[in-house]
Chain A
Amino acid sequence: MTKENSSLTPKKVPSIYPSRTKKQVTFIFLVILGIYLFSMYWTQREMVGGIGGALGNMYTVIEKFFPPNFAVLPALLDPMIQTIQMAIIATTVAAILTIPLAILSAQNVTTFKPIYYVTKTFLNLLRTIPDLVLAVIFVGLFGIGLFPGILALVIFSLGILAKLVGETIESVDMNPLEAMRASGGNPLQVIWYALVPQVLPQYTSLVLYVFEINIRASVVLGYVGAGGIGLILNQQLGFYNYPNAMAIIIVIFVVVIIIEYISNKLREALI
């Protein structure tokens, strides 16, 4: 009996991970912990007043914002619609431009390497420029208004959307594509018949997701002169008219929540 038991538990039980991996992970963990501790120490030195000062300020700031002045609501309708329009137009244009870029940046469909690398690099470059910077540049080029805002949003969302859709394309089942090729279809037919049905639900869902991001981003872009409700918010804050600003903030909050709710429901229905 004892003999059987000892054969079941060998002298050396292997651990789940090799000891080298264990050492590496421990080392990386310690380094990151060190960085955290150091930055905590550093930021505390910068914050002279400490957290107590911030809490005191918060009270005075919040007091100024209340009560919000809802009398301005009718005047907010137009700029709010402008903001939503900006997001809709920008998302639509980006959704169309994404299709060729996403296909060309998917390694499994674009087998010709140079094109793949060029598109991939182009998309990476697009994503390195923050949307605010784009808006500032375009406002400088085209003047204050909706157009520079739309342009900034198109480029900003194209970077995200093309990358995400491209990665979706890279994960599709390649077998149907092979079958279409084997039955004599040309590349466009192969893409339309075997690829599009596989990525369409994810594509639609991603477009809705980018639309949500664009609504929020277009508010911020208004701040630098790209039209819409952000522009009004910036003006009111500039005039120190805090009750008006608070009303605007609440309107934005409600609209963003409603739009996210609708697009979430739509996406649930799709997948």
Chain B
Amino acid sequence: MIEFKDVNLVYPNGTQGLKNVNVKINDGEFVVIVGLSGAGKSTFIRSINRLVTPTSGSLLIDDEDILKFHGKDLRKLRTKTGMIFQNYNLVKRSNVLKNVLAGRLGHTGTLRSILNLYSKEDISLAYRSLQRVNIDEKIYNRADELSGGQQQRVSIARVLTQQPKYILADEPVASLDPPTSHQVMTYLRKVNKEDNITTIVNLHFIDMAMEYADRIIGMRAGEVVFDGPVSEVSERTFEEIYGRSIREDDMRGGANES
């Protein structure tokens, strides 16, 4: 369970990233966070694995206040929270299998990981993760030989290999075309249901949020302005979150093509 209690984050340049955020995310939920760019979606997600550190309030994950974590505690927290990025963030010159095995870093000793001494279980786990996202035939390809959608699937496999309790996805489809976007979201949704991994996804496409989310959190200027199950959401809700009327580029489209 993730619980934000009066969380504020002010960046050194004075920008307020988060403003009095109070949110409780239950285990197994698939939450989509929507908002315009600069609304604080990334800051919200990156607070959970402490890539950024809120300046006040408390953030409880499994009843522990993670804002006090340092060094070893922090690495343990990050082992528990897998992350997917907009730009996939793979090591382009390394092969797919090595990229996926990097998901085991937090579970593996420094010396073993440097000498590539992964256990048989770890390697077969990495391979099974690749099979689950249907990219296992590419294990020895270099990451930069793959298309964007394939790279994002490899990064999902990396997160699966990490066996996290939470998956954080920061704009996972913003660099992809509509059919590939739906494919990636479908995989995320599948993993969420099959492994019961709590998943939090940042999106700015309204139609995709409606299609895949259990629950939608709307953000504007660092504040949570909407929080509710997807059944309560209408076009009107989005107009309130965005503070303007809905435009065509707020939609990803292509749902029937995938």
Contacts and interface: CB of A to CB of B under 8 A. Distances in A.
B102 A183 contact: yes
Contact of A178 (B85, B94, B102): B85
Interface in B48-89: 49, 51, 75-83, 85, 87, 89
Contact of B113 (A176, A182, A192): A192
A175 B102 contact: no
Contacts of B91: 176, 193-194, 197-198
Contacts of A89: none
B158 interface: yes
B105 interface: yes
Contacts of B15: none
B76 to A, nearest CB: 7
B90 interface: yes
Given A189-B105, A192-B114, A184 B93 contact: no
A200 B91 CA distance: 13
Interface string B182-213: 00000000000000000000000000000000
A180 B80 CA distance: 13
B162 A189 contact: no
A182 B49 contact: yes
B253 interface: no
Interface residues of B, number: 33
A188 B113 CA distance: 10
Nearest to B161: A183
A184 B113 contact: no
Interface in B101-128: 102-103, 105-108, 110, 113-114
B236 interface: no
Nearest to B102: A193
Nearest to A184: B106
Contacts of B162: 183-184
B79 A188 contact: no
Interface of B is mostly: helix
A15 interface: no
B78 A181 contact: yes
Nearest to A192: B114
A171 B191 CA distance: 36
A179 B105 contact: no
A63 interface: no
Interface in B25-54: 49, 51
Contact of A186 (B94, B110, B158): B110
Contacts of A192: 113-114
With most chain A CB atoms within 10 A of its CB, the pick from B90, B91, B159, B162 is B91
A189 B113 contact: yes
Interface in A151-191: 173, 175-176, 178-186, 188-189
A188 B102 contact: no
B24 interface: no
A193 B49 contact: no
Contacts of B110: 186, 188-189
A174 to B, nearest CB: 9
Contacts of A173: 92
Contacts of A186: 75, 105, 110
A188 B158 CA distance: 19
Given A188-B114, A192-B113, A193-B113, A180 B102 contact: yes
A183 to B, nearest CB: 5
Nearest to A200: B93
B126 to A, nearest CB: 13
A26 B110 CA distance: 57
A184 B73 CA distance: 10
Interface of B: 49, 51, 75-83, 85, 87, 89-94, 98, 102-103, 105-108, 110, 113-114, 155, 158-159, 162
16 contacts: A176-B90, A179-B102, A182-B78, A182-B81, A183-B79, A183-B83, A183-B105, A183-B162, A184-B105, A184-B107, A185-B102, A185-B105, A185-B113, A186-B110, A193-B113, A198-B92
